[in-house]
Amino acid sequence: MKLLHRKLRRDIRRQRAQFGAVAVTVFLGAFMFGLSLDAFKNLEASYDSSFVRYQFANFTIDGGDSRSIANEVAATEGVEATTSRVQADVPFAVGKDKLLGRVVGFPTGRRPAVNDLDVIEGTYLRQSQPDGVIVDQNMSEAFEIGVGDSVQVVGAGGPVEVEILGIGASPEYFWPARSRQDLIPAPKDFGVLYVPEKLAETVAGLTGPNQVVAYYDGGDDSKELDSELASTADEGGASGSFTRAEQPSNGALE
């Protein structure tokens, strides 16, 4: 062992630069791993806390008799909150740019019980301004638009000029995915506007909600509740349903 230690010391002296480079590389690798892991844990904690803060839906049901489905879902044990709303994909015009965007109906006199958003600039929707909307942060950045700007929404009854009251960020669109089949749309191919419920109905050509979102007790996922609400959706004639894990934005980020 003494001979081996002596040889090691001699090797280190003869190859000081190489030995130092290896030591620095190992140190930097461990250091960067620690930083990356810490950053990931912080981001994960922030991401998960936003689900609770804004009551990100555990289960979403599209189509069918939404009002009846919403009543059934709200009465289901383990469901903390339910919201029925309008969601529709319609053409937008932002200056010279045209795209197929999405309008999501929001109440004006109160905040939604499920799938709320953070208004990071400007104000929330106002009853006194039926054509006022909130633009999603991703769309705001892609088109360089903000509070006071206008967007043209081409609905069932023709074009409607809407004014941006605020810029919002929602767990539904932290990553701007249109659907599970279109997880990575081009920046100017998709955008989301949060609009008053009545305006959403007018634009979509509907007289009531076409989507139901449910938030479970404490925001915890439940396979049993997923199965029960999927059956409720089928009985109500829904065109589709999906869990939080299957939600396009969340699925893409996960």
In the predicted structure, residue 39 carries a pLDDT above the cut 60: no
d(CA 115, CA 107): 12
Q: Each residue of 187-197: pLDDT tens digit?
A: 899 999 999 99
In the predicted structure, residue 184 carries a pLDDT above the cut 80: yes
Containing H/E element for 141?
helix 137-143
As given in the structure block, the two tokens for residue 189 are 């191919």
Rounded to two decimals, what is the model's pTM?
Answer: 0.83
d(CA 211, CA 219): 19
The residue behind tokens 């589709």 is 240
**How distant, in Å, are the alpha carbons of 3, 158, 189, 229, 250 from that of 177?**
64, 26, 11, 24, 9
In the predicted structure, residue 44 carries a pLDDT above the cut 80: no
pLDDT of residue 183: 87
In the predicted structure, residue 37 carries a pLDDT above the cut 70: no
Q: Higher-confidence residue: 251 or 1? A: 251
In the predicted structure, residue 234 carries a pLDDT above the cut 80: yes
As given in the structure block, the two tokens for residue 25 are 């590389």
As a whole number, the mean pLDDT across the chain is 90
Q: Each residue of 125-155: pLDDT tens digit?
A: 999 999 999 999 999 999 999 999 999 999 9
Among 7-11, 65-69, 106-110, 150-154, the minimum mean pLDDT is found in 7-11
Q: Each residue of 83-102: pLDDT tens digit?
A: 999 999 999 999 999 999 99
Instruction: Provide φ and ψ at 80, rounded to 5°.
Output: -80, -40
Q: Each residue of 156-171: pLDDT tens digit?
A: 889 999 999 999 999 9
Q: Higher-confidence residue: 47 or 234? A: 234
Residue type for position 205 = G
pLDDT of residue 35: 63
pLDDT of residue 226: 97
